Structure 1
Amino acid sequence: MTESEIAEPLELPRGIALAWGIAAAPQRGPKREMSVERIVDAAVELADADGLAAVSMAAVASKLGFTPMSLYRYVSAKDDLLLLMQEEALGLPPESLDEANGWRARLAEIYRGAVEVYQRHPWLLALPISGSPITPNSSAWIDATLQALAETGLTYDERIAASLTVMGQARWCGTVQAGYGERARTSGLDDAQMAAQESALFDAVIGADEFPELRRAIDAGVFTSTFDPFRFGLERVLDGVDAYMATRGSDMAPEVSGHEWIALEEAELAGDKRYLDALKAVRAAEKALRAARKVERQTLREANERIAKARAKG
């Protein structure tokens, strides 16, 4: 083997190395009083109390009674701190997984556990997604979803896809609940009061002519219902996975798929002016069309009212 064929050992980014406990410890600094664990715990406490915006190296240092420079000996960048905070807040998958029978029940438990994590630490939802977080706890969640589907015969591509769908459902549920939770804290309203207020606002502006189905939904009480739309969505996703496995049969041979990632046109990503101007013109035309259809519905309604009045007089 030539020297060029010998692969260089991969150097992990410091944040990932810290998460796995394989980063070199600082050689100087207040070792007994300070540690990566204490720094991360303090940062998580700040985020839990006041949101992600409250977390800075200076704020964490102040909470611990040290200078920011002391922190940099342990966590050299804020991005690394955010990664470690995410790892700490995420924790391990729920222990209730051990009592769940079958792939469907196990995925449902993973979903429930993830939603609870977002409820405890809503600031997690504000962290940017720039790739897969390659840390111990995040890896444990991925592994748990793959284990749940291990006996199904799905390919690893399909199992990862199912995992992403379940976790995406949990994240969306967490996002909505976090928003309503913040509103509850600032308004002092409970869930029922917020639902009633929201329903009343819809009721005030939604007409049957312009939004007929939404009007019927409001009248049916959807905005004050205790029905859980997120769990319904999860169950239908799992129904779909179940049906997919049934159609594949016992062979379970991998499907050849031509599906591609959804992506914007390169011209739009590059900021091509002529293309962006064309998109702007399309949006303006769509807006004008919606306005024209609104006038059409209004005119039709008024015409029907005139006809009805004329018939009543005749």
Structure 2
Amino acid sequence: MTEIEPPELPRGIALAWGVATNPQRGPKREMSVERIVDAAVELADADGIGAVSMAAVAAALGFTPMSLYRYVSAKDDLLLLMQEQATGLPPETVRELDGWRARLLALYTEQVLLYQRHPWMLSLPINGSPITPHSSAWLDASLEALEATPLSADERMAVALAVTGNARWCGIVQAGYTEQARGSGLGPDEVARRESELYDRVITADEFPALRRAIDDGVFTSPSDPFRFGIERVFDGVAAYIDFLDRGAPAQPVTDWIALDPVELSGDRRLKDAQKAVREAEKALRLAHKAERQALREARERVARAAKSR
């Protein structure tokens, strides 16, 4: 029976694990993968991921772009290594905390801070599971925090992904506000106030009643952290489910993935045209309802004026 050999590690992942072959010769001793990645991260932290190119990194180090390719053969590999370095390892202090909830909240908080320090990481694509050492360490820390619970392996992974996902979403929104503040010269509070004022101009009670009430209640200028509230409620649900299992109740696995019908991915032109027609019809219906609400409001005003004039 022939054994199937495991797939070869892509060079970027091999570099991250320190098992890639080094170039036989380089331009100078001062050149190394570590120095290249350090320079790239500095560029990204200062000017965003758009400032990172092989030419820019080479210029920062005083070498030619071709010299870099001896060490990092593709920009995608460089981006992976940049992400790995910026991610770092989870703080050891997390392991000293008591209970799964405290440990997961600490990991969530540290990940949010990580995105604040390196917002360019949020623009990098997610290409499958984290296979690099540092990314694996964060996932391992979340799973370890849940090992003493009755959750199954699948359930522990689901909770770990919820923590990571919530932290990333919080990071995306905060990075957006930070970028607005940087571009406009306004402080974060001023950006939020201006955003609230813009919503105030276009959101009507007729068309978006719930959102209008939220604006009037000051949600966009509130000091409350909606992301912290959200993750705490996630933990409440996990705690309730753990208690459910501790009382001997059966597990409740969820195996139905949300997925498109494969036909939608086939590129069938008639299907795409039909879907476009549906979107246009829905838009026309929304506009018709808006016109109806406007006409109703104006009719009420006419009736009220007529009643006053009697």
TM-score normalised to structure 2 length: 0.96
Kept after mapping to 1: 8 A contact 2:245/2:251: no
Are 1:135 and 2:132 an aligned pair?
Answer: yes
Per the alignment, in what secondary structure is the counterpart of residue 75 of structure 1?
coil
Which of 60, 65, 70 is equivalent to 1:68? 65
Match of 1:308 in 2: 304
Higher mean displacement: 97-106 or 269-278 = 97-106
CA distance in 2, matches of 1:313, 1:123: 63
2:241 aligned with 1:244: yes
Residue 276 of structure 1 deviates from its aligned partner by 0.3
1:28 is matched with which residue? 25
Partner of 2:214: 217
Shift of 1:96: 3.3
The answer to whether the Cα contact below 8 Å between 2:26 and 2:67 also exists between their aligned partners in 1 is yes
**Structure 2 equivalent of residue 50 of structure 1:** 47
Superposed CA offset, 1:81-112 (max 9, x none): 11111100000112331342211111110100
Alignment of 1:114-125 (within 5 A): 114-125=111-122
**What secondary structure, in the 3-state scheme, does the structure 2 residue paired with 1:8 have?**
coil
Instruction: Name the structure 2 match of 1:189.
Output: 186
- Tell me the residue number matched to 1:144: 141
How far apart, in 2, do the equivalents of 1:165 and 1:256 lie? 16
Q: Does 1:273 align with 2:269?
A: yes
Per-residue CA shift, 1:13-58, capped at 9, x if unaligned?
1111111111111111135110110000011111111111111111
Query: How many Å apart are 1:212 and its aligned residue?
Result: 1.8
Supply the distance in 1 between the matched residues of 2:214 and 2:251 (Cα, whole angstroms): 41
Check whether the contact 2:206–2:293 (CA below 8 A) recurs between aligned residues: yes
CA contact (8 A) 2:48 2:120 kept: yes
Residue segments in structure 2 that go unaligned for 5+ positions in a row: none
Are 1:37 and 2:59 counterparts? Answer: no
Q: CA deviation at 1:259?
A: 1.3
Q: Which residue of 2 aligns with 1:111?
A: 108
1:92-107 equivalences under 5 Å are 92-107=89-104
CA distance in 1, matches of 2:36, 2:204: 54
Q: What letter matches 2:112 in structure 1? A: V
Percent of pairs identical after alignment? 67
Q: Helix, strand or coil for the counterpart of 1:145?
A: helix
Per mean C-alpha deviation after superposition, the further-off stretch among 275-284 and 303-312 is 303-312
The 1-side partners of 2:227 and 2:148 are apart by 26
- Greater shift, 140-149 or 28-37, is seen at 28-37
Q: Select between 27-36 and 279-288 the one with higher mean Cα deviation.
A: 27-36
Q: Residues 203 and 250 of structure 1: is their aligned pair in 2 closer, same or farther, counting only changes over 3 Å?
A: same
User: Match of 1:276, as an amino acid?
Assistant: K
| Residues 227 and 205 (structure 1), Cα distance of their counterparts in 2 relative to 1, 3 Å cut | same
Question: What is the DSSP-based 3-state SS (H/G/I as helix, E as strand, rest coil) of the residue aligned with 1:71?
Answer: helix
Alignment CA distance shift 1:299-1:161 (3 Å):
same
1:205 equivalent to 2:202? Answer: yes
Secondary structure, in 3 states, of the residue corresponding to 2:220?
coil
Q: Secondary structure at the match of 1:223?
A: helix
Measured in 2, the distance between the counterparts of 1:292 and 1:9 equals 60
Q: Distance in 2 between matches of 1:251 and 1:107?
A: 25
In 2, distance between residues paired with 1:256 and 1:130? Answer: 26
SS of 1:63's equivalent?
helix
* CA deviation string 1:111-161 (max 9, x = no partner): 000011100111101111121130110010000000111111111111111
Judging changes above 3 Å, is the alpha-carbon distance between structure 1 residues 252 and 136 closer, same or farther for their aligned structure 2 residues?
farther
Matches within 5 A, 1:223-242: 223-242=220-239
Structure 2 counterparts to residues 287-306 of structure 1, below 5 A: 287-306=283-302
Instruction: Please report the TM-score for the alignment, with normalisation by the length of structure 1.
Output: 0.95
Q: Which of the numbers 78, 83, 87 marks the counterpart of 1:86?
A: 83
Query: 1:254 Cα shift?
Result: 4.6
Deviations 1:57-89 (A, max 9, x none): 111111111111111111111111111111000
Amino acid at match of 1:92: L
Structure 1: runs of 5+ lacking an equivalent = none
Q: What amino acid is the match of 1:107? A: L
